[in-house]
Amino acid sequence: MVKDGADLLTFAEIPGVPATNNRAEREIRPAVLMRKASYGNGSAQGAETRAILMSIYRTLKTRGLDPLAETRGALETLAKTGTLPKLPDKPTSAG
């Protein structure tokens, strides 16, 4: 039987899984700072749009890609074909 919260921490330890969420906190920090600088969102739709765009931006950045170039390419594809491409995979190193 679990008597206090300390027992829960040892139960949750899994090899290869960080014990903290520090990386996740650092990943969302740019979006939080942007929201603060712009005094929030004007609507629920604006909040949802910003969340989607920041998710795409951070995914591209994490994969080592240029978010601006990838977004421009996706919009060009949309204009030509009427559909958006999937998010690109992390680039592979040549050699």
pLDDT by position in tens, the chain (length 95)? 555 555 555 576 788 888 888 888 888 888 788 778 877 777 888 888 888 888 888 888 888 999 999 999 999 999 999 999 887 777 665 54
65 domain-assigned: yes
User: Can you read off the two tokens belonging to residue 64?
Assistant: 């080592």
Domain that holds residue 36: 22-73
Alpha-helix runs per DSSP H in 3-91: 5-12, 22-37, 44-62, 67-81
Q: What was the pLDDT predicted at 16?
A: 83
49 domain-assigned: yes
Task: Write down the residue that tokens 């996740």 correspond to.
Answer: 24
Domains: count for the chain = 1
Q: What was the pLDDT predicted at 72?
A: 95
